[in-house]
Structure 1
Amino acid sequence: MRILSKQALVAGCLGLAMAAGAVHAAEDRSDWPRSITVGTASQGGVYYVYGAGWANLVGEALGISAGAEVTGGPVQNATLVQMGEHAFGMVTTGPLVAALQGKSELAPGMAHDDVRAVFPMYQTTLQIIALKSSGINSVEDLAGKTIGVGPAGGTADMYHPQLLEKLGINVRTRNGGAADQAGQLQDGLIDAFAFAAGMPISAFSQLEAQADVNIFSYEPHHFEKISESFPELSQATIPTTVYSSMSEDRSAISLWNLAITHKDMPESLVYGVTKTVMENNDRMMQIHSASSETIPENYKYNTIVPWHAGAARWFEENGYEIPENMKD
């Protein structure tokens, strides 16, 4: 009779444990999709850079095919996730509130009851850029001008026209991708480009490297006039360090962004996505500096949509209490 050594017994036990773990992992993934798509926005904006980055990070960490897709932005992303067309999406709180109320601009009347939160992203800041030669350096200077407001259905398209109307500033608006509208501004086809994204907006950075520009946003006296009608907005600042063309901080307004998914997405997959992004902020910072706000502590800013069960499990395992009414 052969007697196994202690080392052999330990090795055998470890091998069995690893095999069992492998089987368990396979079982956990049996309901996973073969690949996942993350809805972002137009190229040239932070959403696309950020979304493509975390999709690649998750794909690498979880061993699943993952990629970003160009979309019209948050309004469309909410609907694509609700309909199951995209596994994940990125939204700002304003369009998400409208979608949950059945008031989506792209799908009016459609309930978005199946949308769930995955992780907090960063604040979207409403920012405006104009060529210095135009003399446009404030919101009031936009009166009577033609301004780009990003893709139809995007956050910028949703907010800037409404805010300017509320302030009594009449403008003509045009839609287009961030990179395209930056080019239109440089070519004199539009007078200003009003966008909404994390800081810095890559299209703004590229434009200021090629031309003399003014970058500005809404001032505190503007916020006082619009805050009651738009409670999801908050006051913010564009630090002088964000853009090389700025000589001083500029006041602004902003709203939060969330990664979302469908409530029926496998819990183990969403847990893995949340874990990967929340535990690798150093990698996220390599993707975009807006990721400085992509940290677990900022989960508290989601007071709008319940957390997916997989996301809630990760947060609670790591000491972050999820209110009962915010659980799936």
Structure 2
Amino acid sequence: MNRRPLIMAAPAVASWAASLPANAQGAPLPFYTAGAGSAFLPYGQALATFLAAKGVRVEVRNSAGSLENLAKVEDEPNAIGTAFLGSVVDALNGTATAGGRRHRAIRALFPMYETAFMVTAPRARGLTRFADLAGKRVGCGPARGPAESFFRVAAEVAGITATIASGDSAPLVEQTLNGEIDALWQGAIVPIPALVAVADRTPSVTFGPGEEVARGVIRRLPFMAPATIPPGTYRGQDAPIASFAAWNFVVGNASMPEEAAYALTKAAVSTTDPARDIAAMAAGTRAANAGTNRVLPFHPGAARALREAGVTVPDIAMPG
């Protein structure tokens, strides 16, 4: 990537450049997203293009998703990353899913989009409801990632056991199509790209855990909310899908200079039509959605930019 000096598009950006370490001045911020086939990666790429036009440069980097991104941001003062709020809860509390490490430096910057969870299976497999996944091979994204974690919770609530296959979305799509696995469970903005890839290439059935299981998951994971996906969202889907969902946020390190977090957040939420100006999947990247985060404290710079946009920023305490 051509590392030209940072464009000084606004005083806040100039302050940011001045505050960076000498060896980092002029370099774009590392922006950790996910792997091929994920929704995080194209979101990050689209946002990077939009921010560049605002004079804010970030360098999109592939990763294994939320948990790796949170670890990177925890360790790199000037890094940012995409993160599912469920994974944020794991990271803050140092759960086994997060490798037992309690993250203390991560802070919320701005909202991305809502993630809902569901599954697609080729029609030939004969799977039409969540209970049918008992004893089957189910692709669940990267090992220990959000999709796997919440599939395990949903399966436990439903009283079923399945064999989990791990990996990036793109190879799991191929494994679903060629019969190596029976179904593909994913969580992302709807329609979920990997599930669309399966449904568009072979007659398929797309379904969720159902209302009863979703209620059980929400009781265990109160940061979740009910989600209903309308008919026609996926090829061959003729009935609503009942599931659960939560939001994704871009996060940064608490040590990031306030002016940097301010400039980044202000630029990201500056458009009144993010679906048009950033990408369709960025429709939720609005200051008004800041309140969907109820688990991670906001960076002071981000909070200032969001308040200037006219929203009330939740006062969130770091877990003890």
Relative to the length of structure 1, the TM-score reads 0.86
Out of 51, 55, 74, the position equivalent to 2:48 is: 55
Question: Which structure 2 segments of 5+ residues have no match?
Answer: 1-8
**Distance of aligned partners of 1:22 and 1:136 in 2 relative to their CA distance in 1, 3 Å threshold:** closer
- Answer yes or no: is 1:322 the counterpart of 2:313: yes
Q: Secondary structure at the match of 1:125?
A: strand
In structure 1, the residue matched to 2:146 is: 155
Q: Any conservation in 1 of the 2:131–2:158 contact (CA below 8 Å)? A: no
**Distance of aligned partners of 1:197 and 1:59 in 2 relative to their CA distance in 1, 3 Å threshold:** same
Q: Any conservation in 1 of the 2:78–2:256 contact (CA below 8 Å)? A: no
In structure 2, the residue matched to 1:13 is: none
For residues 116 and 285 of structure 1, the distance between their equivalents in structure 2, rounded to whole angstroms, comes to 27
Moved more, 75-84 or 236-245: 236-245
Write the deviation string for residues 81-105 of structure 1: whole angstroms up to 9, x where unpaired: 1111771111111111111112252
In structure 2, the residue matched to 1:90 is: 82
How many residues are matched? 305
Instruction: Give % identity.
Output: 27
In the TM superposition, what is the alpha-carbon distance from 1:323 to its structure 2 partner? 4.5
In the TM superposition, what is the alpha-carbon distance from 1:107 to its structure 2 partner? 2.9
RMSD between aligned alpha carbons? 2.2
In the TM superposition, what is the alpha-carbon distance from 1:63 to its structure 2 partner? 4.6
Q: Secondary structure at the match of 1:156?
A: helix
AA at the equivalent of 1:94? G
Out of 233, 255, 260, the position equivalent to 2:224 is: 233
Write the deviation string for residues 253-282 of structure 1: whole angstroms up to 9, x where unpaired: 111111100011122222122112211253
In structure 1, the residue matched to 2:267 is: 276
In structure 2, the residue matched to 1:5 is: none
In structure 2, the residue matched to 1:4 is: none
Write the deviation string for residues 15-55 of structure 1: whole angstroms up to 9, x where unpaired: xxxxxx98886454212442112111221121111122112
Write the deviation string for residues 118-173 of structure 1: whole angstroms up to 9, x where unpaired: 00111111010100111111101101101110011321011102320232111001
Question: Which structure 1 segments of 5+ residues have no match?
Answer: 1-20
For residues 113 and 11 of structure 2, the distance between their equivalents in structure 1, rounded to whole angstroms, comes to 37
**Distance of aligned partners of 1:129 and 1:30 in 2 relative to their CA distance in 1, 3 Å threshold:** same
- Answer yes or no: is 1:29 the counterpart of 2:21: no
In structure 1, the residue matched to 2:302 is: 311
In structure 2, the residue matched to 1:6 is: none
AA at the equivalent of 1:31? S
Out of 280, 296, 300, the position equivalent to 1:289 is: 280
Q: Secondary structure at the match of 1:245?
A: coil
Q: Any conservation in 1 of the 2:142–2:148 contact (CA below 8 Å)? A: yes
Q: Any conservation in 1 of the 2:12–2:262 contact (CA below 8 Å)? A: no
